[in-house]
Structure 1
Amino acid sequence: MKHTRLTDALHRLFYEAWALYEQAFPLEERRPLPWQLEIMPHASYHFEVILQEEELIGILLWWGFDEVRYVEHFATAPALRGKGYGKVILQAFTDRDTRPVLLEVEPPESKVNRRRIRFYERNGFCLNHHFYQQPPYHQGQPPLTLRLMSYPTPITAGEAAAFARRHHPLIYRTAQ
Protein backbone atom coordinates (compact mmCIF):
# COMPACT_ATOMS: atom_id res chain seq x y z
CA MET A 1 0.00 0.00 0.00
CA LYS A 2 1.12 3.49 -0.79
CA HIS A 3 0.29 6.62 1.22
CA THR A 4 0.21 9.81 -0.85
CA ARG A 5 -0.11 13.19 0.82
CA LEU A 6 -2.25 15.71 -1.04
CA THR A 7 -1.71 19.42 -0.42
CA ASP A 8 -4.33 20.77 -2.82
CA ALA A 9 -7.30 19.72 -4.94
CA LEU A 10 -5.28 19.44 -8.13
CA HIS A 11 -4.27 15.81 -7.53
CA ARG A 12 -6.21 13.43 -9.76
CA LEU A 13 -7.58 11.53 -6.74
CA PHE A 14 -8.68 14.47 -4.61
CA TYR A 15 -12.36 14.49 -5.61
CA GLU A 16 -12.63 10.70 -5.39
CA ALA A 17 -11.14 10.92 -1.88
CA TRP A 18 -13.48 13.81 -1.06
CA ALA A 19 -16.47 11.72 -2.16
CA LEU A 20 -15.35 8.94 0.22
CA TYR A 21 -15.00 11.54 3.00
CA GLU A 22 -18.53 12.83 2.39
CA GLN A 23 -19.94 9.30 2.25
CA ALA A 24 -18.15 8.11 5.39
CA PHE A 25 -18.86 11.01 7.76
CA PRO A 26 -22.10 12.82 8.63
CA LEU A 27 -22.25 16.56 7.97
CA GLU A 28 -21.62 17.50 11.61
CA GLU A 29 -18.35 15.52 11.57
CA ARG A 30 -16.81 16.94 8.43
CA ARG A 31 -15.20 20.18 7.35
CA PRO A 32 -16.74 22.20 4.47
CA LEU A 33 -14.79 21.98 1.21
CA PRO A 34 -13.58 25.63 1.12
CA TRP A 35 -12.17 25.28 4.62
CA GLN A 36 -10.62 21.92 3.69
CA LEU A 37 -8.84 23.49 0.73
CA GLU A 38 -7.45 26.22 3.00
CA ILE A 39 -5.86 23.82 5.48
CA MET A 40 -4.47 21.23 3.07
CA PRO A 41 -1.12 22.98 2.55
CA HIS A 42 -0.62 23.52 6.31
CA ALA A 43 2.63 21.87 7.40
CA SER A 44 0.99 20.00 10.30
CA TYR A 45 -1.96 18.68 8.29
CA HIS A 46 -1.83 15.47 6.27
CA PHE A 47 -4.54 14.60 3.77
CA GLU A 48 -3.39 11.13 2.77
CA VAL A 49 -4.92 8.86 0.19
CA ILE A 50 -4.07 5.20 0.54
CA LEU A 51 -3.59 3.41 -2.73
CA GLN A 52 -3.09 -0.15 -3.82
CA GLU A 53 -2.01 -0.46 -7.43
CA GLU A 54 -3.28 3.10 -8.03
CA GLU A 55 -6.76 2.26 -6.70
CA LEU A 56 -8.06 4.38 -3.81
CA ILE A 57 -8.63 2.11 -0.85
CA GLY A 58 -8.89 4.70 1.91
CA ILE A 59 -8.21 8.13 3.37
CA LEU A 60 -6.30 9.10 6.49
CA LEU A 61 -6.60 12.77 7.44
CA TRP A 62 -4.42 13.65 10.40
CA TRP A 63 -2.45 16.35 12.20
CA GLY A 64 1.16 15.96 13.29
CA PHE A 65 2.09 17.98 16.36
CA ASP A 66 5.30 17.85 18.38
CA GLU A 67 3.83 15.71 21.15
CA VAL A 68 1.00 13.79 19.43
CA ARG A 69 -0.59 12.74 16.15
CA TYR A 70 -4.31 13.38 15.90
CA VAL A 71 -6.37 11.33 13.42
CA GLU A 72 -9.24 13.56 12.40
CA HIS A 73 -10.78 11.29 9.74
CA PHE A 74 -10.08 7.71 8.66
CA ALA A 75 -12.15 5.64 6.23
CA THR A 76 -11.77 2.79 3.79
CA ALA A 77 -13.68 2.44 0.54
CA PRO A 78 -17.13 0.92 1.20
CA ALA A 79 -16.50 -2.11 -1.02
CA LEU A 80 -13.35 -2.94 0.94
CA ARG A 81 -14.68 -2.64 4.50
CA GLY A 82 -14.39 -5.73 6.64
CA LYS A 83 -11.53 -7.14 4.56
CA GLY A 84 -8.61 -6.14 6.78
CA TYR A 85 -7.51 -2.99 4.96
CA GLY A 86 -8.38 -0.71 7.89
CA LYS A 87 -6.23 -2.77 10.24
CA VAL A 88 -3.26 -2.70 7.86
CA ILE A 89 -3.58 1.06 7.28
CA LEU A 90 -3.92 1.82 10.99
CA GLN A 91 -1.03 -0.44 12.00
CA ALA A 92 1.25 1.13 9.38
CA PHE A 93 0.28 4.55 10.73
CA THR A 94 0.95 3.72 14.39
CA ASP A 95 4.23 1.98 13.48
CA ARG A 96 5.68 4.83 11.42
CA ASP A 97 6.24 7.19 14.35
CA THR A 98 6.75 6.97 18.11
CA ARG A 99 4.43 9.85 19.00
CA PRO A 100 1.15 8.84 20.67
CA VAL A 101 -2.03 8.95 18.59
CA LEU A 102 -5.42 10.42 19.47
CA LEU A 103 -8.73 10.03 17.65
CA GLU A 104 -12.37 10.70 18.43
CA VAL A 105 -15.26 8.24 18.44
CA GLU A 106 -18.95 8.55 19.14
CA PRO A 107 -19.99 7.28 22.60
CA PRO A 108 -20.66 3.50 22.65
CA GLU A 109 -24.45 3.93 22.58
CA SER A 110 -25.17 2.04 19.36
CA LYS A 111 -24.09 -1.25 17.83
CA VAL A 112 -22.18 0.54 15.06
CA ASN A 113 -20.35 2.78 17.53
CA ARG A 114 -19.44 -0.18 19.77
CA ARG A 115 -18.14 -2.10 16.73
CA ARG A 116 -15.99 0.88 15.70
CA ILE A 117 -14.58 1.19 19.23
CA ARG A 118 -13.77 -2.55 19.32
CA PHE A 119 -11.94 -2.19 15.98
CA TYR A 120 -9.67 0.48 17.45
CA GLU A 121 -9.21 -1.49 20.69
CA ARG A 122 -8.13 -4.57 18.70
CA ASN A 123 -5.54 -2.29 17.12
CA GLY A 124 -4.06 -1.16 20.44
CA PHE A 125 -6.13 1.96 21.16
CA CYS A 126 -7.56 2.70 24.61
CA LEU A 127 -11.04 4.13 25.10
CA ASN A 128 -10.69 6.96 27.59
CA HIS A 129 -13.57 7.27 30.03
CA HIS A 130 -13.98 11.02 30.09
CA PHE A 131 -16.13 12.82 27.53
CA TYR A 132 -14.71 15.31 25.08
CA GLN A 133 -16.30 18.20 23.19
CA GLN A 134 -15.55 18.48 19.48
CA PRO A 135 -16.17 22.04 18.32
CA PRO A 136 -18.63 22.31 15.41
CA TYR A 137 -17.43 22.33 11.82
CA HIS A 138 -20.45 24.39 10.75
CA GLN A 139 -21.72 27.68 12.15
CA GLY A 140 -24.82 27.31 14.26
CA GLN A 141 -24.25 23.65 15.11
CA PRO A 142 -23.61 22.58 18.70
CA PRO A 143 -20.38 20.88 19.75
CA LEU A 144 -20.39 17.07 19.58
CA THR A 145 -19.90 15.04 22.73
CA LEU A 146 -17.41 12.34 21.84
CA ARG A 147 -14.84 10.10 23.49
CA LEU A 148 -11.13 10.19 22.83
CA MET A 149 -9.22 7.03 22.08
CA SER A 150 -5.48 7.01 22.49
CA TYR A 151 -2.58 4.85 21.40
CA PRO A 152 -0.68 3.21 22.99
CA THR A 153 -1.84 4.20 26.51
CA PRO A 154 -4.83 5.97 28.08
CA ILE A 155 -4.73 9.71 28.69
CA THR A 156 -6.11 11.70 31.59
CA ALA A 157 -8.91 14.24 31.43
CA GLY A 158 -6.25 16.90 32.03
CA GLU A 159 -4.22 15.71 29.03
CA ALA A 160 -7.36 15.74 26.86
CA ALA A 161 -8.12 19.30 28.02
CA ALA A 162 -4.53 20.37 27.30
CA PHE A 163 -4.76 18.87 23.78
CA ALA A 164 -7.99 20.78 23.15
CA ARG A 165 -6.60 24.04 24.52
CA ARG A 166 -3.40 23.76 22.50
CA HIS A 167 -4.70 22.41 19.17
CA HIS A 168 -8.42 23.10 18.74
CA PRO A 169 -7.82 26.74 17.69
CA LEU A 170 -5.99 25.43 14.59
CA ILE A 171 -8.00 22.28 13.91
CA TYR A 172 -11.47 23.75 14.43
CA ARG A 173 -10.87 27.48 13.99
CA THR A 174 -11.93 28.22 17.54
CA ALA A 175 -11.04 31.50 19.25
CA GLN A 176 -7.84 31.40 21.24
Structure 2
Amino acid sequence: MLFTTLEQLDNQLWPLAEELYHRSFPKEGRKPDSIITGMFTRMTCYLHTLTDGGTVEAMALSGLTGGGRILLIDYIAVSESRRGEGIGSQLIEAITDWAHNEKQLDGLLIEVESERTPVNEQRIRFWERNGFTITDYEHPYIWVPEPYRAMYKQLNQETGWIGDGSGKKLFRYITVFHEKAYSKK
Protein backbone atom coordinates (compact mmCIF):
# COMPACT_ATOMS: atom_id res chain seq x y z
CA MET A 1 0.00 0.00 0.00
CA LEU A 2 1.18 3.46 -0.88
CA PHE A 3 0.51 6.23 1.67
CA THR A 4 0.09 9.73 0.27
CA THR A 5 -0.71 13.04 1.91
CA LEU A 6 -1.75 16.08 -0.13
CA GLU A 7 -2.11 19.64 1.14
CA GLN A 8 -4.14 20.64 -1.91
CA LEU A 9 -6.84 18.70 -3.72
CA ASP A 10 -5.63 17.58 -7.12
CA ASN A 11 -7.29 16.31 -10.30
CA GLN A 12 -5.86 12.79 -10.05
CA LEU A 13 -6.03 11.45 -6.50
CA TRP A 14 -8.87 13.57 -5.12
CA PRO A 15 -11.57 12.32 -7.56
CA LEU A 16 -10.72 8.72 -6.59
CA ALA A 17 -10.75 9.52 -2.87
CA GLU A 18 -13.90 11.61 -3.29
CA GLU A 19 -15.68 8.63 -4.84
CA LEU A 20 -14.81 6.51 -1.78
CA TYR A 21 -15.91 9.38 0.50
CA HIS A 22 -19.30 9.57 -1.26
CA ARG A 23 -19.81 5.80 -1.12
CA SER A 24 -18.89 5.67 2.59
CA PHE A 25 -20.93 8.56 3.95
CA PRO A 26 -24.56 9.32 3.13
CA LYS A 27 -25.22 12.80 1.78
CA GLU A 28 -26.69 13.98 5.10
CA GLY A 29 -23.66 12.59 6.99
CA ARG A 30 -20.87 14.28 5.08
CA LYS A 31 -19.67 17.77 4.32
CA PRO A 32 -20.76 19.02 0.90
CA ASP A 33 -18.06 19.02 -1.77
CA SER A 34 -18.08 22.84 -1.87
CA ILE A 35 -17.27 22.97 1.87
CA ILE A 36 -14.39 20.52 1.46
CA THR A 37 -12.99 22.48 -1.47
CA GLY A 38 -13.28 25.68 0.56
CA MET A 39 -11.56 24.09 3.54
CA PHE A 40 -8.46 23.45 1.46
CA THR A 41 -8.34 27.10 0.39
CA ARG A 42 -9.19 28.69 3.78
CA MET A 43 -7.26 26.53 6.21
CA THR A 44 -4.52 23.92 6.47
CA CYS A 45 -6.14 20.62 5.50
CA TYR A 46 -4.86 17.30 4.25
CA LEU A 47 -6.06 14.42 2.13
CA HIS A 48 -4.50 11.14 3.24
CA THR A 49 -4.83 8.01 1.12
CA LEU A 50 -3.72 4.41 0.97
CA THR A 51 -3.68 3.14 -2.59
CA ASP A 52 -3.17 -0.33 -3.97
CA GLY A 53 -2.50 -0.63 -7.70
CA GLY A 54 -3.87 2.86 -8.33
CA THR A 55 -7.10 2.19 -6.38
CA VAL A 56 -7.83 4.30 -3.30
CA GLU A 57 -8.55 1.69 -0.62
CA ALA A 58 -8.66 4.12 2.30
CA MET A 59 -8.86 7.89 2.69
CA ALA A 60 -9.03 10.48 5.42
CA LEU A 61 -9.62 14.21 5.54
CA SER A 62 -7.89 16.12 8.31
CA GLY A 63 -6.92 19.62 9.29
CA LEU A 64 -4.90 21.57 11.79
CA THR A 65 -6.39 23.16 14.89
CA GLY A 66 -5.09 24.17 18.31
CA GLY A 67 -2.77 26.82 16.94
CA GLY A 68 -1.57 24.45 14.25
CA ARG A 69 -0.30 21.88 16.78
CA ILE A 70 -3.16 19.35 16.65
CA LEU A 71 -4.41 17.31 13.70
CA LEU A 72 -8.16 16.74 13.69
CA ILE A 73 -9.15 13.70 11.65
CA ASP A 74 -12.50 14.78 10.24
CA TYR A 75 -13.43 11.76 8.08
CA ILE A 76 -11.94 8.35 7.44
CA ALA A 77 -13.22 5.73 5.02
CA VAL A 78 -12.10 2.26 3.90
CA SER A 79 -13.29 0.61 0.72
CA GLU A 80 -16.16 -1.72 1.59
CA SER A 81 -14.49 -4.65 -0.18
CA ARG A 82 -11.34 -4.24 1.96
CA ARG A 83 -12.90 -3.73 5.40
CA GLY A 84 -11.71 -6.15 8.05
CA GLU A 85 -8.19 -6.37 6.60
CA GLY A 86 -6.64 -3.81 8.95
CA ILE A 87 -6.38 -1.11 6.28
CA GLY A 88 -8.05 1.50 8.49
CA SER A 89 -5.46 0.84 11.18
CA GLN A 90 -2.68 1.04 8.56
CA LEU A 91 -3.97 4.45 7.53
CA ILE A 92 -4.14 5.69 11.14
CA GLU A 93 -0.61 4.41 11.76
CA ALA A 94 0.67 6.18 8.64
CA ILE A 95 -1.09 9.43 9.60
CA THR A 96 0.31 9.15 13.14
CA ASP A 97 3.87 8.63 11.86
CA TRP A 98 3.51 11.52 9.40
CA ALA A 99 2.04 13.86 12.05
CA HIS A 100 4.72 12.96 14.60
CA ASN A 101 7.82 12.68 12.42
CA GLU A 102 7.20 15.11 9.56
CA LYS A 103 4.97 17.73 11.19
CA GLN A 104 6.09 17.38 14.85
CA LEU A 105 2.50 17.83 16.01
CA ASP A 106 1.39 17.53 19.63
CA GLY A 107 -1.45 15.13 19.00
CA LEU A 108 -4.33 13.74 16.99
CA LEU A 109 -7.96 14.45 17.74
CA ILE A 110 -11.28 12.99 16.60
CA GLU A 111 -14.90 13.20 17.64
CA VAL A 112 -17.16 10.17 17.92
CA GLU A 113 -20.89 9.75 18.43
CA SER A 114 -21.44 9.02 22.12
CA GLU A 115 -24.87 7.42 21.88
CA ARG A 116 -24.47 3.81 23.04
CA THR A 117 -25.22 1.77 19.94
CA PRO A 118 -23.36 -1.30 18.66
CA VAL A 119 -22.04 0.65 15.65
CA ASN A 120 -20.79 3.55 17.78
CA GLU A 121 -19.21 1.19 20.33
CA GLN A 122 -17.43 -0.63 17.49
CA ARG A 123 -16.06 2.68 16.17
CA ILE A 124 -14.82 3.67 19.63
CA ARG A 125 -13.07 0.29 20.02
CA PHE A 126 -11.39 0.81 16.62
CA TRP A 127 -9.96 4.15 17.75
CA GLU A 128 -8.91 2.72 21.13
CA ARG A 129 -7.08 -0.13 19.37
CA ASN A 130 -5.25 2.56 17.43
CA GLY A 131 -4.02 4.35 20.57
CA PHE A 132 -6.75 6.91 21.13
CA THR A 133 -8.21 7.73 24.55
CA ILE A 134 -11.87 8.66 24.93
CA THR A 135 -13.02 11.52 27.16
CA ASP A 136 -16.07 11.53 29.43
CA TYR A 137 -17.47 14.90 28.38
CA GLU A 138 -20.44 14.71 25.97
CA HIS A 139 -20.69 17.70 23.66
CA PRO A 140 -24.15 18.66 22.41
CA TYR A 141 -24.34 20.24 18.95
CA ILE A 142 -27.27 22.41 17.99
CA TRP A 143 -27.24 21.26 14.36
CA VAL A 144 -27.09 17.48 14.89
CA PRO A 145 -29.28 15.51 17.29
CA GLU A 146 -26.70 13.21 18.88
CA PRO A 147 -23.98 14.19 21.37
CA TYR A 148 -20.30 13.56 20.64
CA ARG A 149 -17.20 12.80 22.68
CA ALA A 150 -13.60 13.65 21.89
CA MET A 151 -10.86 11.05 21.51
CA TYR A 152 -7.20 11.97 21.42
CA LYS A 153 -3.79 10.48 20.79
CA GLN A 154 -0.93 12.38 22.36
CA LEU A 155 2.22 12.55 20.24
CA ASN A 156 4.28 15.00 22.28
CA GLN A 157 4.31 14.08 25.97
CA GLU A 158 5.73 17.46 26.99
CA THR A 159 2.77 19.62 25.99
CA GLY A 160 -0.37 20.19 28.01
CA TRP A 161 -2.76 20.47 25.07
CA ILE A 162 -5.14 17.85 26.49
CA GLY A 163 -5.93 19.93 29.56
CA ASP A 164 -7.82 18.14 32.31
CA GLY A 165 -8.78 15.27 29.99
CA SER A 166 -12.51 16.01 30.34
CA GLY A 167 -12.92 16.77 26.68
CA LYS A 168 -14.23 20.32 27.11
CA LYS A 169 -10.92 21.86 26.09
CA LEU A 170 -10.61 19.43 23.19
CA PHE A 171 -14.04 20.45 21.92
CA ARG A 172 -12.86 24.05 21.77
CA TYR A 173 -10.27 22.88 19.22
CA ILE A 174 -12.91 20.84 17.37
CA THR A 175 -15.34 23.78 17.32
CA VAL A 176 -12.69 26.15 15.94
CA PHE A 177 -11.96 23.63 13.18
CA HIS A 178 -15.64 23.32 12.20
CA GLU A 179 -16.20 27.08 12.33
CA LYS A 180 -13.31 27.60 9.90
CA ALA A 181 -14.51 24.75 7.69
CA TYR A 182 -17.97 26.30 7.27
CA SER A 183 -16.76 29.90 7.13
CA LYS A 184 -17.23 31.79 3.85
CA LYS A 185 -14.01 33.78 4.40
Unaligned 5+ segments in structure 2 are 156-161
* TM-score normalised to structure 1 length: 0.81
Q: Secondary structure at the match of 1:94?
A: helix
Between 1 and 2, higher relative CO (CA 8 Å, sep ≥ 6) is seen in 2
What is residue 24 of structure 2 aligned with on the other side? 24
Does 2:167 match 1:160?
A: no
Residue 104 (structure 1) shift: 1.3
Does 2:109 match 1:102?
A: yes
Matched ranges for 1:129-140 at <5 A: 129-134=136-141, 136=143
Residue 102 (structure 1) shift: 0.7
Unaligned 5+ segments in structure 1 are 137-141
Structure 1 CA distance for aligned equivalents of residues 16 and 63 of structure 2: 21
Bigger Cα displacement from structure 2, 97-106 vs 40-49:
40-49
For 1:106, the aligned partner's letter is: E
The answer (yes or no) to whether the contact 1:4–1:50 under 8 Å persists in 2 is no
State percent identity of aligned pairs: 23
What is residue 35 of structure 2 aligned with on the other side? 35
Structure 2 CA distance for aligned equivalents of residues 157 and 149 of structure 1: 8
RMSD, aligned CA: 2.6
Q: Deviations over 1:119-157 (max 9, x none)?
A: 110111011111124574xxxxx4652111111396333
* TM-score normalised to structure 2 length: 0.77
Bigger Cα displacement from structure 2, 73-82 vs 23-32:
23-32
Aligned length: 169
What is residue 124 of structure 1 aligned with on the other side? 131
Matched ranges for 1:7-156 at <5 A: 7-8=8-9, 10-65=10-65, 66-96=68-98, 97=100, 98-134=105-141, 136=143, 142=144, 144-152=146-154, 155-156=165-166
Alpha carbons of structure 1 residues 19 and 144: separation in structure 2 relative to 1, 3 Å: farther
Bigger Cα displacement from structure 2, 44-53 vs 81-90:
44-53
